[in-house]
Structure 1
Amino acid sequence: MQTLPQDAIYRASPRIMALADWIGDPVSAADFPETRLRWRNDRAAAGVGLADLSDDDWVRHFGRFDPLPDNMPGPLALRYHGHQFRVYNPDLGDGRGFTFAQMLDGDARLMDLGTKGSGQTPWSRLGDGRLTLKGAVREILATEMLGALGVNTSRTFSVIETGESLYRGDEPSPTRSAVMVRLSHGHIRIGTFQRLSALQLGDEMAQLVAYCLANFPGGAFPDAPHPAVRFFNQVVERMADMAASYMVAGFVHGVLNSDNMNVTGESFDYGPWRWLPKWDPGFTAAYFDHQGLYAYGRQPEAIHWNCGQLAVALRSLVDAAPLIEALNRYPELYQQAMVRRWCWRLGVEPRGLDEDTALIGACEAAMATGSLGADAFFFAHRGGRGTFADTAEGTALKAALEPYTATDSSHAYWADTAPQAMLIDEVEAIWQPIAQSDDWSALHAKVAAIRRMGEAMGQRPQPQGHELA
Structure 2
Amino acid sequence: MRPLEDLDFDNSFARLPEPFYSRVMPTPVPAPELLSYNETAAALLDLDPREAQRPEFVEYFSGNRPLPGSEPLAALYAGHQFGHYVPQLGDGRAILLGEVRNRAGERWELQLKGAGRTPYSRGGDGRAVLRSTIREYLCSEAMHGLGIPSTRALCIVGSELEVYRESVERGAVLLRLAPSHVRFGSFEVFFYRDQHAELKLLADYVIERHYPELVDRDDKYVRFFQEVVLRTARLLAQWQAVGFAHGVMNTDNMSILGLTLDYGPFGFLDRYDPGFICNHSDHAGRYAFDRQPQIGLWNLTALAQALSPLVPVEAAREALGRYGPAYATHYVELMCAKLGLRDHTREDIPLVTDLLQLLHASQVDYTGFFRALGGFSTETAAANAPLRDLFIDRVAFDAWAARYRTRLLADGSPDGERKARMARVNPKYVLRNYLAQIAIDRAVEARDYSEIDRLLALLRRPYDEQPDMQAYAAPPPDWAQHIQVSCSS
| TM-score class normalised by the smaller sequence | 0.7 to 0.9
Bigger mean CA deviation after superposition, 101-110 or 241-250:
101-110
Say if 2:210 is the partner of 1:211. Answer: no
> Contact 2:367–2:428 at 8 Å: present in 1 too?
yes
Specify the alignment match of 1:301 in structure 2: 294
Aligned CA distance change for structure 1 residues 332 and 447 (closer, same or farther; 3 Å): same
Distance in 2 (alpha carbons) for counterparts of 1:189 and 1:142: 19
> Contact 1:275–1:423 at 8 Å: present in 2 too?
yes
Specify the alignment match of 2:3 in structure 1: 5
Distance in 2 (alpha carbons) for counterparts of 1:189 and 1:121: 18
Specify the alignment match of 1:399 in structure 2: 406
Say if 2:20 is the partner of 1:23. Answer: yes
Larger radius of gyration: 2
Specify the alignment match of 1:193 in structure 2: 187
Structure 2 residue aligned with 1:440, among 413, 434, 449? 449
> Contact 1:45–1:51 at 8 Å: present in 2 too?
yes
Aligned CA distance change for structure 1 residues 363 and 17 (closer, same or farther; 3 Å): same
Say if 2:453 is the partner of 1:425. Answer: no
Structure 2 residue aligned with 1:44, among 41, 44, 55? 41
The residue type equivalent to 2:363 in the other structure is S
Distance in 2 (alpha carbons) for counterparts of 1:268 and 1:6: 25
Say if 2:372 is the partner of 1:380. Answer: yes
Q: Tell me, what secondary structure is at the counterpart of 1:98?
A: strand
Deviations 1:87-110 (A, max 9, x none): 000131111112112123454232
Specify the alignment match of 2:168 in structure 1: 174
Matched residue pairs, number?
Answer: 445
Q: How does 1:5-404 map to 2 (within 5 A)?
A: 5=3, 11-52=8-49, 53-55=51-53, 56-64=55-63, 66-69=65-68, 71-72=69-70, 74-169=71-166, 173-217=167-211, 226-349=219-342, 351-384=343-376, 387=384, 388=387, 390=394, 391=397, 392-404=399-411
Aligned CA distance change for structure 1 residues 217 and 42 (closer, same or farther; 3 Å): farther
CA RMSD of aligned residues (A): 2.9
Shift of 1:352: 3.8
Distance in 2 (alpha carbons) for counterparts of 1:355 and 1:108: 44
The residue type equivalent to 2:433 in the other structure is I
Distance in 1 (alpha carbons) for counterparts of 2:64 and 2:370: 42
Distance in 1 (alpha carbons) for counterparts of 2:161 and 2:43: 30
Structure 1 unpaired stretches of 5+: 458-469
Q: Tell me, what secondary structure is at the counterpart of 2:197?
A: helix
The residue type equivalent to 1:423 in the other structure is R
Q: Tell me, what secondary structure is at the counterpart of 1:34?
A: coil
Q: Tell me, what secondary structure is at the counterpart of 2:230?
A: helix
Shift of 1:260: 0.5
Q: Percent identity?
A: 30
> Contact 2:423–2:463 at 8 Å: present in 1 too?
no
Specify the alignment match of 1:465 in structure 2: none
The residue type equivalent to 2:148 in the other structure is V
Q: Tell me, what secondary structure is at the counterpart of 1:368?
A: helix
Deviations 1:260-295 (A, max 9, x none): 011011012111111112111111011121111100
> Contact 2:38–2:154 at 8 Å: present in 1 too?
yes
Shift of 1:353: 4.9
The residue type equivalent to 1:377 in the other structure is F
Aligned CA distance change for structure 1 residues 219 and 441 (closer, same or farther; 3 Å): same
Deviations 1:300-323 (A, max 9, x none): 101110000110011122321111
The residue type equivalent to 2:177 in the other structure is L
Aligned CA distance change for structure 1 residues 447 and 411 (closer, same or farther; 3 Å): farther
Aligned CA distance change for structure 1 residues 340 and 217 (closer, same or farther; 3 Å): farther
- The TM-score with structure 1 as length reference comes to 0.87
Shift of 1:28: 1.0
> Contact 2:187–2:306 at 8 Å: present in 1 too?
yes
Distance in 1 (alpha carbons) for counterparts of 2:179 and 2:146: 19
The residue type equivalent to 2:442 in the other structure is P
> Contact 1:5–1:54 at 8 Å: present in 2 too?
no
> Contact 2:248–2:279 at 8 Å: present in 1 too?
yes
> Contact 2:272–2:365 at 8 Å: present in 1 too?
yes
Distance in 2 (alpha carbons) for counterparts of 1:211 and 1:177: 35
Bigger mean CA deviation after superposition, 74-83 or 441-450:
441-450
Aligned CA distance change for structure 1 residues 363 and 145 (closer, same or farther; 3 Å): farther
The residue type equivalent to 2:57 in the other structure is W
The residue type equivalent to 1:61 in the other structure is Y
Structure 2 unpaired stretches of 5+: 378-382, 389-393, 467-489
Deviations 1:192-229 (A, max 9, x none): 1000101112221111111111222487599x753221
> Contact 1:221–1:230 at 8 Å: present in 2 too?
no
Distance in 2 (alpha carbons) for counterparts of 1:246 and 1:254: 12
Aligned CA distance change for structure 1 residues 247 and 128 (closer, same or farther; 3 Å): same
Shift of 1:132: 0.5
Distance in 1 (alpha carbons) for counterparts of 2:118 and 2:56: 25
- The TM-score with structure 2 as length reference comes to 0.83
Bigger mean CA deviation after superposition, 34-43 or 442-451:
442-451
Bigger mean CA deviation after superposition, 137-146 or 102-111:
102-111
Deviations 1:152-195 (A, max 9, x none): 111121110121112212xxx22111011111121101001000
Q: Tell me, what secondary structure is at the counterpart of 2:460?
A: helix
Shift of 1:296: 0.2
